[in-house]
């Protein structure tokens, strides 16, 4: 195991070029801040300042200064100028408790998260970095656990898991508890107060962020365990020793050989909830959004990895043998959002499949899943965050195949392949002899094929299409559920005398409803979700008219 881990850590430590890129980006943003007349400066924090950066880490930067405008207003000013400074994929995440602007550096393809006056984030990074300086095994174990969690797709609060920062808190807390301790509790040592004001929860909070930072003056740890031994003990600690039902992961109050009762802390909690306290923001339980399914997955994977380390001694055996090659995002949608609308919105983003939920009639907003073939396509699609589709503002979150599998167990999904959607639209255009490109709105996916519960199934959905090129007004989309012949007649407010000229045309490719409103020369083509059993025969005269 020692050689496995040594090779991994050596490869992950090659971050020289990314450090140069990070400094260049930081200088660029500082220059833009001066151009905007802002009183302050841009600083790096997160993994690039806490010691846990790897060759794929994002760059977290924050503008710290005295500003009168809101964080969203300032971020918008930056967003308006960034494209001309070598950045793309500008993504606004302004509805978050801490508004963020995400961007990609075109030169080195580095992802950047930019926020305003997040002083708590800066202090958190300094705290972790100080622990790393005290003992290099903090950094090493943190990198290994971070890689393990990402490979198993166990990172992300949107999917009910812990975020990367929470895993680092688990690492430090464990190293405080192992006997003898690898690190002391730096927050419990004597030092000067460092109060920080924060408004993340709406009202102003003042948090104490002090910790002892002169670690060179502290005696070194007596613990001589190797990184391999510590990794095995880490998994053992959180699966066999730590009582998640009773105790909290609380670096702030931890004492050797003792545990912190989670019911003694400030937030309401129940037995099933995990509690991972932020070391400074005492209102923030980083495990507060962990779902039951994700907690079980985290615990099971830790247990499996412990067994693998015990039996084989190989670190690589703890990682998935066949990692997923698909990339997912998800978003909640309103009842008015159709599959067609989402397919059209993401058509230019190399979307591979759309997994669209069937309404369960409860009124709850379901989640649709977007599947991409690579990370770059998903990143481009993320730029559509907070845009509107119909009456729904998209809140896009990175997701995984595990989250989709869990969602399929809760409701039915229909899967639409973008390639099939495009091909069917092209075929229809060719069959109808269109001389100009058919508008995107002239195609509507069929919603009648749900994915079976508990399993994912690839399917090519048959699309229902209609031509709007020859008509001044595009008719509205059909209702979401299959209809009977009588209900369709009633839906279009047609009298009985007109019903006899309703016609279902089918050329083995696309069903179309033609409505004759008193005058056969004014036929309208409208999409329908009618099953084949409702098709009616058509006279040769109407067929000739339609073909023309």
> What 3-state DSSP class applies to 111?
strand
The average pLDDT across 32-52 equals 86
- Pairing between strand 388-389 and 351-357? unpaired
**Of 20-29, 104-113, 455-464, which range is least confident?**
455-464
Q: What is the DSSP string of 57-72?
A: PPEEEEEEEE-SS-HH
Give the pLDDT confidence score for residue 54 in this predicted structure: 64
Stated length of the chain: 548
Is pLDDT above 50 for 496? no
**Cβ distance 273 to 246 under 8 Å?**
no
Measured distance CA(131)–CA(150) in Å, rounded:
22
Q: How confident is the model at residue 141 (pLDDT cuts 50, 70, 90)?
A: very high
Give the pLDDT confidence score for residue 548 in this predicted structure: 42
- As a three-state string, the secondary structure of 394-454 is CCCEEECHHHHHHHHCCCCEEEEEHHHHHHHHHHHHHHCCCCCCCCHHHEEECCCCEECCC
Is pLDDT above 90 for 493? no
Q: How confident is the model at residue 14 (pLDDT cuts 50, 70, 90)?
A: low
**Cβ distance 140 to 131 under 8 Å?**
no
**Cβ distance 42 to 29 under 8 Å?**
yes
210, two tokens? 């002090």
Measured distance CA(523)–CA(525) in Å, rounded:
7
For the segment 45-70, what is each residue's pLDDT rounded down to a tens digit?
887 766 666 666 789 999 999 988 99
* CATH architecture observed for domain 5-117: 2-Layer Sandwich (3.30)
Largest Cα separation within the chain, whole Å, is 97
Give the pLDDT confidence score for residue 526 in this predicted structure: 44
Give the pLDDT confidence score for residue 478 in this predicted structure: 40
Is pLDDT above 50 for 37? yes
Cα 536 from chain centre? 46
Where do the DSSP E strands lie in 178-317? 195-198, 205-208, 247-248, 260-261
Is pLDDT above 70 for 531? no
**Cβ distance 331 to 394 under 8 Å?**
yes
Is pLDDT above 70 for 180? yes
What is residue 162's DSSP assignment? B
Give the pLDDT confidence score for residue 46 in this predicted structure: 84
Give the pLDDT confidence score for residue 433 in this predicted structure: 66
The average pLDDT across 204-226 equals 96
Give the pLDDT confidence score for residue 350 in this predicted structure: 95
Query: What mean pLDDT is reported for the chain?
Result: 81
Region class of 228: left (phi > 0), else alpha (psi between -120 and 50), else beta: alpha
Measured distance CA(252)–CA(137) in Å, rounded:
20
Helix (H) or strand (E) holding 23, with range, is helix 16-35
The average pLDDT across 463-471 equals 29
**Angle (CA) 317 319 321, round 5°:** 80
Is pLDDT above 80 for 473? no
* CB-based contacts of 275, cutoff 8 Å, min separation 6: 247, 248, 249, 250, 262, 265, 267, 269, 285, 287
Cα 178 from chain centre? 34
**Of 41-55, 122-136, 234-248, 448-462, which range is least confident?**
448-462
**Of 101-105, 161-165, 502-506, which range is least confident?**
502-506
Q: How confident is the model at residue 477 (pLDDT cuts 50, 70, 90)?
A: very low
Q: Which residue has the tokens 């166990």?
A: 154
For the segment 364-413, what is each residue's pLDDT rounded down to a tens digit?
778 999 999 999 999 999 999 999 999 999 999 999 999 999 999 888 99
Give the closest residue to 454 by CA, choosing from 416, 403, 414, 407.
407
CATH class of 134-189+216-318: mainly alpha
For the segment 400-458, what is each residue's pLDDT rounded down to a tens digit?
999 999 999 888 999 999 999 888 888 877 877 654 555 544 544 544 333 333 333 33
Residue ranges per structural domain of the chain: 5-117, 134-189+216-318, 327-451, 478-547
**Of 186-190, 318-322, 535-539, which range is least confident?**
535-539
Is pLDDT above 90 for 356? yes
Handedness of CA 227, 229, 235, 240 (dihedral sign): negative
Give the pLDDT confidence score for residue 170 in this predicted structure: 98
- The domain defined by 327-451 folds into Alpha-Beta Plaits (3.30.70)
């Amino acid at each position: 195991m020692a050689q496995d881990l040594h090779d991994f850590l050596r490869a992950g430590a090659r971050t020289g070029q990314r450090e140069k890129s990070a400094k260049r980006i930081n200088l660029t943003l500082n220059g833009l801040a001066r151009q905007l007349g802002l009183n302050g400066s841009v600083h790096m924090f997160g993994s690039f300042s806490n010691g846990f950066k790897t060759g794929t880490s994002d760059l977290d930067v924050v503008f710290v200064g005295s500003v009168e405008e809101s964080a969203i207003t300032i971020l918008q000013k930056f967003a308006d100028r960034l494209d001309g400074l070598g950045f793309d994929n500008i993504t606004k995440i302004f509805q978050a408790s801490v508004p963020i602007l995400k961007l990609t550096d075109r030169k080195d393809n580095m992802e950047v998260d930019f926020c305003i006056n997040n002083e708590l984030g800066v202090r958190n990074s300094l705290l972790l970095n100080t622990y790393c300086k005290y003992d290099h095994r903090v950094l090493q174990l943190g990198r290994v656990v971070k890689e393990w969690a990402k490979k198993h797709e166990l990172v992300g609060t949107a999917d009910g898991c812990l975020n990367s920062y929470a895993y680092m808190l688990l690492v430090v807390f464990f190293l405080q508890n192992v006997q003898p301790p690898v690190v002391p509790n730096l927050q419990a040592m004597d030092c000067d107060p460092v109060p920080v004001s924060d408004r993340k929860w709406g009202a102003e909070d003042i948090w104490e962020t002090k910790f002892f930072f002169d670690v060179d003056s502290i005696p070194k740890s007596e613990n001589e365990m190797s990184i391999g031994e510590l990794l095995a003990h880490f998994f053992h600690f959180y699966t066999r020793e730590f009582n998640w039902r009773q105790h909290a992961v609380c670096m702030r109050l931890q004492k050797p050989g003792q545990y912190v009762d989670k019911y003694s802390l400030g937030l309401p909690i129940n037995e099933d909830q995990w509690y991972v306290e932020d070391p400074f923001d005492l209102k923030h339980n980083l495990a507060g959004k962990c779902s039951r399914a994700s907690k079980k997955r985290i615990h099971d994977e830790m247990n499996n990895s412990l067994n693998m380390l015990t039996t084989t001694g190989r670190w690589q055996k703890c990682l998935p043998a066949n990692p997923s090659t698909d990339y997912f995002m998800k978003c909640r949608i309103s009842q008015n959002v159709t599959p067609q609308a989402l397919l059209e919105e993401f058509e230019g983003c190399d979307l591979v499949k759309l997994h669209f939920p069937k309404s369960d009639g409860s009124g709850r907003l379901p989640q649709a899943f977007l599947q991409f073939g690579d990370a770059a396509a998903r990143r481009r699609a993320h730029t559509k965050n907070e845009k509107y589709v119909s009456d729904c503002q998209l809140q896009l979150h990175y997701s995984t195949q595990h989250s989709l599998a869990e969602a399929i167990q809760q409701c039915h999904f229909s899967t639409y392949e973008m390639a099939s959607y495009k091909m069917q639209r092209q075929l229809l255009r060719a069959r109808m002899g269109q001389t100009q490109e058919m508008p995107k709105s002239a195609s509507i996916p069929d919603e009648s094929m749900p994915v079976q519960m508990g399993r994912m199934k690839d399917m090519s959905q048959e699309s229902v299409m209609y031509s709007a090129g020859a008509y001044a007004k595009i008719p509205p989309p059909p209702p979401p559920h299959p209809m009977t012949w009588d209900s369709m007649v009633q839906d279009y407010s047609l009298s009985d005398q007109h019903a006899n000229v309703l016609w279902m045309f089918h050329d083995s490719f696309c069903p179309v409803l033609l409505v004759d409103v008193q005058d056969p020369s004014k036929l309208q083509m409208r999409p329908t979700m009618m099953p084949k059993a409702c098709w009616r025969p058509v006279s040769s005269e109407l067929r000739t008219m339609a073909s023309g």
